[in-house]
Amino acid sequence: MVRKGLQQDQRLFDVGLGGGVKIDYEPGEGDKPSVPVYLTEEELAFFEKDDTLAEQVVTERDCAEDMICWQYLKRKEFDTKEAAEQLELIQDEVDLELGNTILKPITREVAKPFIEKYEWLGQLGTFKFGYGLFFPYKSGIGHKLGVAICFSKTTTWQAEVSICGEEYRDKVILLCRGAAANWAVKNANSYAIAQTLKAVERDTDYRIILAYSDRRAGEVGTIYQALNWLFIGWGAEGTDHVPAGLVDPTDMRFHTRGLPKELKSKSSLLKAGYEVLDVKRANKGRYITFLGSRKERKELMEVLRFKILPYPKREDFTDPRKLKRFRAVHRKGM
């Protein structure tokens, strides 16, 4: 990889095609190609002011203080003359006013390639239903997908029951994926979520919306905070038993759900002859919001089994003094 000389106020971030982000990374022989990205401190802070960049932030694995928006890096990665010309072409062809967009249900077949291109996990996972925010072409013929919001059921019935009890279990749905195109306008993500929740209330019986923020990716739930969701604390930590050499447990997108059933327990791995690594699983922040009439929302609030906690902030994890105080406050709320 050929590097340019660093300016005084810049640091080099290397974006691998597999999604990893490392600082001053020198690719070894046989490594996948990657794209060097130079960012100033002002650029690093830019995502905090831009809802379009939303939640998808990535952090260097061993240095949590440098948090960078994943979608912003995707923009920088494709920041070439050809891409700039393409963006200019989109602006000429597509009406980017949010007020002129339309929200429509989308199928898995429509959501999958969009999420794979723009969302930091790079995969759709389970999918029950979804909505897309479409921007009209200026020609008056057709629309272009700019934001996709996808939902699925939670991975366990315990997660559904834990929020408001068994009686309301069937009312719970998980907002599992959301992404905006790199050409989408500011606030497109938050606008799309707000419009999508109205559609979910109108089209379904779901009234409890759950979403997670993943600290491994530097997420604190900024977009949910902006939309006045309730923060109900962190999920349980745990330990994954990983077959050494078979998977990369340092990959932020790794999860044991992707392993064959016969390789998920420590005993089965040892029996199969694998060396076993015990990898600590990071807990995720949990946000919820209620849909329905004022009476319905009040009823759900009354049976909510969690204490509503103060919103986490990025500085809570980067300032040692604030981190200690933050942990004490949230431990009391659990």
For 214-225, the pLDDT digits (tens) are 766 566 788 999
Task: Write out the residue range of the structural domain in which residue 40 sits.
Answer: 10-237+282-333
Same domain, 161 and 290: yes
Please report whether residue 4 resides in a domain. Answer: no
Same domain, 97 and 227: yes
At 125, is the pLDDT very low, low, confident or very high (cuts 50, 70, 90)? confident
Same domain, 174 and 305: yes
Same domain, 171 and 255: no
Same domain, 155 and 255: no
Query: What's the confidence (pLDDT) of residue 58?
Result: 34
Same domain, 141 and 211: yes
At 317, is the pLDDT very low, low, confident or very high (cuts 50, 70, 90)? low
Percentage of the chain lying above the pLDDT 70 cut: 54
Same domain, 131 and 246: no
Give the pLDDT mean for 45-54.
38
The count of structural domains within the chain is 2
Q: Comparing 163 with 58, which gets the higher pLDDT? A: 163
Predicted TM-score (pTM) of this structure: 0.66
Same domain, 269 and 155: no
Same domain, 122 and 243: no
Same domain, 139 and 266: no
Q: Are 283 and 330 in contact (CB under 8 A)?
A: no
Please report whether residue 1 resides in a domain. Answer: no
Question: How many CB atoms lie under 10 A from the CB of residue 168?
Answer: 17
For 238-296, the pLDDT digits (tens) are 666 666 665 555 554 445 555 565 565 777 777 777 777 766 666 788 999 999 999 99
41 has a pLDDT exceeding 70? no
At 149, is the pLDDT very low, low, confident or very high (cuts 50, 70, 90)? very high
End-to-end Cα distance, the chain: 48
Tokens representing residue 126 in the block: 């389970």
Who's near 104: CB < 8 A, 6+ residues apart? 131, 132, 134
Phi, psi of 325 (to 5 degrees): -70, -40
Query: What's the confidence (pLDDT) of residue 271?
Result: 76
